[in-house]
């Protein structure tokens, strides 16, 4: 099996026919100018060292060297063996609160952006574990299911904002239930849920979800973002300029408070831990350290082909050919003259 490590480089091969056309055009114009200067019969007398046949050979050698050099830079690779690699790890669903209160800036740059940053950092450290993301406000939705494709997961994470879930509110119980339904329990992997929120639950069905998590041996961790004392929720216009703070129906500024008691109780009953979010610490990294202590289980396998670089098969000949072309002259040589005469005789 052959592939190229940098296949996009192969597009440079289009330069070869382009150079051939350019060479033909230049030679044609040059011959026309020489015919105007003197008749064809006088060319051998006026230009005794000129050989169009040797110039063509020299140009062909140059093109051959460039072609091989382009292929070498594209890095041809040969697959040597195919083997099955076991995939081991744990399954983790992150539940991310995207309600309007997550726009508060008591955690910089905002509660939501800090949470997204920590999740992105976590993806950089994961090796084999499957990660899923549930976003929730008044309802819960799966942003991406359990996956070990962290690059694709990061794209979906970047798309998350305060408008991802249109229904207002904070329904933690619904998010927990959705994550519990989304796990596969027949593969035997250890499972955990990480809740990232300010804890202001407005629905109140958390207890039943925690009981279900316990029955399915799913650990529940929580990260609380915000200030227990309360902070206003800024409002920005389309230009990104702050135009005020969110107000209630009476015109009073709404203060969003971190409900630590709810989150501590949730983590305690869920056989996990609670972490208070800060501006400087990476709480999700601390949780992942705890999760690393959970015994990893095999959840599947994938076929992996090992490839070995073979660019030097083309690079070395390319360099030798280009050196040879550099040392060649365009002057006439007797053996090429004889060969050209024979060639012309065959044409006749």
Instruction: Give residue 81's Cα distance to chain centre.
Output: 26
| pLDDT single digits (tens) 281-327 | 778 888 888 877 665 444 455 555 667 888 888 999 999 998 988 88
Delimiting residues of CATH 3.40.50.410 domain(s) in the chain? 86-302
What is the average pLDDT value for the chain, to the nearest integer?
A: 83
Lookup: tokens for 130: 């499957």
Average pLDDT for residues 209-224, to the nearest whole number?
93
Q: Which residues pair with 241 in a beta bridge?
A: none
Q: At what angle do helices 260-269 and 206-215 cross, to 10 degrees?
A: 20
Per the listing, tokens 């063996």 go with: 81
**Whole-number pLDDT of residue 347:** 45
Taking a C-beta distance cutoff of 8 angstroms, is the pair 102, 110 a contact? yes
Kindly report the length of the chain.
Answer: 348
Q: Is the pLDDT of residue 336 over 70?
A: no
Q: Which residues pair with 224 in a beta bridge?
A: 197, 276
Lookup: tokens for 23: 């060479």
Q: What is the DSSP letter of 2?
A: E
Buried b (16+ CB within 10 A) or exposed e, 248-257: eeeeeeebbb
319: phi then psi, degrees, rounded to nearest 5: -65, -40
Instruction: Give just the sign of the alpha carbon dihedral 327, 330, 334, 339.
Output: positive
Domain 86-302 in CATH: superfamily? von Willebrand factor, type A domain (3.40.50.410)
Q: Which residues contact 152 (CB under 8 A, 6 or more apart)?
A: 144
Q: Give the C-alpha separation, 307 to 1, whole Å.
A: 9
- What pTM does this model have? 0.61
**Whole-number pLDDT of residue 297:** 45
Taking a C-beta distance cutoff of 8 angstroms, is the pair 272, 223 a contact? no
| pLDDT single digits (tens) 28-75 | 887 777 666 665 555 555 555 566 667 788 888 999 999 999 999 999
Per the listing, tokens 């744990």 go with: 90
Q: Is the pLDDT of residue 176 over 60?
A: yes
């Amino acid at each position: 099996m052959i592939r190229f490590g940098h296949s996009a480089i192969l597009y440079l091969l289009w330069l070869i026919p382009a150079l051939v056309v350019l060479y033909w055009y230049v030679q044609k114009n040059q011959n026309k100018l020489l015919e105007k200067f003197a008749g064809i019969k006088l060319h051998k007398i006026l230009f005794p060292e000129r050989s169009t046949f040797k110039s063509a050979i020299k140009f062909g050698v140059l093109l051959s060297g460039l072609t091989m050099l382009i292929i070498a830079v594209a890095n041809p690779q040969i697959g040597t063996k195919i083997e099955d690699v076991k995939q081991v790890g744990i399954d983790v669903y992150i539940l991310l609160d995207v309600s309007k209160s997550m726009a508060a800036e008591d955690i910089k740059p905002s509660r939501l952006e800090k949470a997204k940053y920590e999740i992105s950092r976590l993806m950089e450290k994961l090796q084999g574990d499957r990660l899923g993301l549930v976003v929730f406000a008044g309802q819960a939705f799966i942003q991406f299911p359990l996956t070990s494709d962290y690059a694709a997961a990061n794209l979906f994470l970047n798309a998350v904002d305060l408008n991802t879930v249109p229904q207002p509110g904070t329904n933690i119980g619904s998010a927990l239930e959705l994550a519990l339904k989304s796990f596969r329990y027949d593969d035997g992997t250890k499972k955990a849920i990480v809740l990232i929120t300010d804890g202001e639950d407005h629905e109140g069905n958390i207890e039943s979800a925690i009981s279900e998590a316990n029955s399915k041996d799913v650990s529940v961790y929580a990260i609380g973002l915000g200030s227990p004392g309360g902070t206003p929720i800024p409002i920005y216009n389309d230009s990104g300029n702050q135009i005020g703070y969110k107000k209630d129906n009476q015109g009073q500024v709404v203060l969003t408070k971190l409900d630590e008691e709810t989150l501590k109780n949730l983590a305690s009953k869920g056989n996990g831990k609670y972490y208070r979010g800060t501006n400087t610490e990476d709480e999700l990294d601390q949780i992942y350290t705890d999760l690393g202590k959970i015994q990893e289980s095999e959840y599947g396998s994938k076929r992996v082909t090992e490839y070995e670089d073979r660019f030097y098969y083309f690079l070395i000949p390319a360099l030798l050919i280009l050196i040879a072309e550099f040392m060649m002259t365009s002057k006439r040589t007797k053996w090429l003259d004889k060969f050209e005469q024979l060639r012309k005789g065959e044409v006749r």
